[in-house]
Structure 1
């Protein structure tokens, strides 16, 4: 029953692939940091900006580790208490093709779930912490409420663990981490025609912009094509965002940002209310 999970554990703990993907993720972070210094989009933005320690220690390291254990525990329970018949057809494909398949399928899901988060007040409460940083950079993408991560990464990795090869989960996790840093990076880059297909910082920073006309735009994560296909693309050429974040009243601490999601809903809270930002 647990063969796949046991193999996955061995891959994560003992396999050379894990060490290579970890090294690649760390190297990518260092490259993004360097490029932010050499070619910043927002000039003068500090590396150790407000919330850096909170985002790096508590969100990136502590939360990621703890939630990883919980998420794979949930997947273990799904495997244990169901009689799901795994479809070996996916696992028989080359790893690179499995990775591409799950990137496209999950990215399509996350596009629509992301749109719903910006329309539904209860879901927005678990997403707003991600929009609270006043400085969008390589690290700011890590700031996400634990409930949001539990939902999205369980939906993402349960099919991969149960249907794909263990190596696919490792590679997909590496791509997720690097891409998350990339699209939030404070790097002045122009993607040209690629921006119509592949998402990058040029387009995603507008998703975090405080400008009124940028609200509820650019929901794509990896494939920008969803925004262009479904009418949510926003990419003005002659100006920059006037700012980012949700204002100075949003809690600054990890605990405060989590508890803030559970404040009482007001009777006038609707999807069009100003509380639903960016």
Structure 2
């Protein structure tokens, strides 16, 4: 128990120091704080210059709520619980494996650092994106998970910041699902993670942005605003009640597994979910929704 408490303490102090270094410009390529701000400003500028829904305000409905979600989920949530939880869970998993005389390295099918640099990034990105796509389908399939995911689907006007409106439980689910694939791949560098992460954030922002783009032939590979808005459609077709267009960064998984759906231009479709008029419209209410719902 003392070992785990030490891990938790070190996680808090280490991540707090990381945030301070980020804000004070003491980090370079791994500075997620200013990286997020820069990406957000660029995509917001694209929304202003190339608007798809021209009557939608630049400061759309819930703009500031979603901006708060961006920084809370990307930084404060990690400080409050995720880093400590992730590091502790990883150590518990290693200890369990040790009881049966197995180590994480025994699970490795290959060491990704043995690959050429470009191939290493590509394999890392593809595997992680597929795991996230599959996890996303589970968030829609099972009611317990869907009640958490409703926070993201409570957006009523799409914009870049809606990308990071999600309940704190979602990253717990995603990180849990990614742990084994990451262990199987072996080691990877912090720079690899940063490059892939910044790319995913950029595409994710664009997917939710009010931008009149679909990337042409690349729409069959990359998720895009004209595809992703149908993921948020309020009224799903009868044969797709568990959702459509689950792609996170890549759209190709939806085309491969036949979950793609773009019947016509979704520019003016109503987004949300059935009963969303009763869904809380503030941060605290949305975070507590799954618990309050169960109690009621």
Answer yes or no: same fold by TM over 0.5: yes
Partners in 1 of 2:76 and 2:278 — Cα distance?
Answer: 28
Partners in 2 of 1:265 and 1:112 — Cα distance?
Answer: 30
When normalised by structure 1's length, the TM-score is 0.80
Matches within 5 A, 1:128-207: 128-156=150-178, 159=182, 163-207=187-231
Say yes or no: does 1:40 pair with 2:51. Answer: yes
| Residue 264 of structure 1: aligned partner | 294
SS at match of 2:120: helix
Partners in 2 of 1:212 and 1:198 — Cα distance?
Answer: 22
| Residue 245 of structure 1: aligned partner | 272
Say yes or no: does 1:17 pair with 2:29. Answer: yes
Partners in 1 of 2:143 and 2:83 — Cα distance?
Answer: 28
Assess if the C-alpha contact under 8 Å between 2:135 and 2:177 holds in 1.
no
Larger deviation, residues 135-144 vs 254-263: 254-263
Unaligned runs of 5+ in 1: 267-278
Partners in 2 of 1:190 and 1:52 — Cα distance?
Answer: 23
* Candidates 66, 71, 80, aligned match of 1:61: 71
Say yes or no: does 1:97 pair with 2:119. Answer: yes
CA spacing shift, 1:156–1:47, aligned 2, 3 Å: farther
Q: CA deviation at 1:217?
A: 1.0
Partners in 2 of 1:52 and 1:71 — Cα distance?
Answer: 25
Say yes or no: does 1:218 pair with 2:245. Answer: yes
Assess if the C-alpha contact under 8 Å between 2:131 and 2:177 holds in 1.
no
Larger deviation, residues 79-88 vs 114-123: 79-88
Larger deviation, residues 234-243 vs 124-133: 234-243
Q: CA-to-partner distance for each residue in 1:123-160, whole Å, 9 max, x for gaps?
A: 10010110001001101111101001222145447838
CA spacing shift, 1:239–1:181, aligned 2, 3 Å: closer
Partners in 2 of 1:175 and 1:23 — Cα distance?
Answer: 14
Unaligned runs of 5+ in 2: 1-6
- Name the structure where helix makes up a greater proportion of residues: 2
State the superposition RMSD in angstroms.
3.1
SS at match of 1:222: coil
SS at match of 2:229: helix
